[in-house]
Amino acid sequence: MPNSIPFHKPSITKSEIDAVSEVLRSGWLTTGPKARELEAAVANGGDNLALAHKYLGGLYLSSKKNQQAADELEKYLKLDPKAADAERIKGTIKDLRNKQ
């Protein structure tokens, strides 16, 4: 398969596992303090800002916050208009806008 992603063992540290576990135990997956930290990081810019908007859009989408999800996905495309998934994201944005 020429387009497959090769298998490799991920490098995940104990501190990353602990951070994920902390969020899972908190019961606040999409609206808790870690989500607010992500929102603040996005607002402040930095490396991989486009992906941060994409992932924040995903969080809003999972919370059924369609307006916010569409807004974040549009910011993602504005920062990375030639993204490999741009057409799929445009379709998602259209669907979300139609649900409002």
Domain layout of the chain by residue ranges: 29-98
Residue 31 CB-half CA count within 13 A? 6
CA angle 28, 33, 39 (to 5 degrees): 110
Note the pTM of the prediction, 2 decimals: 0.61
CATH architecture of 29-98: Alpha Horseshoe (1.25)
Taking residue 16's Cβ as centre, other Cβ atoms within 10 Å add up to 11
Per-residue pLDDT band for 31 (boundaries 50, 70, 90) equals confident
Q: What is the dihedral of CA 3, 55, 65, 86, to 10 degrees?
A: -50
50-59 burial, b for 16+ CB within 10 Å, e for fewer?
bebbbebbbb
pLDDT-derived band of residue 5, with 50, 70 and 90 as boundaries?
low
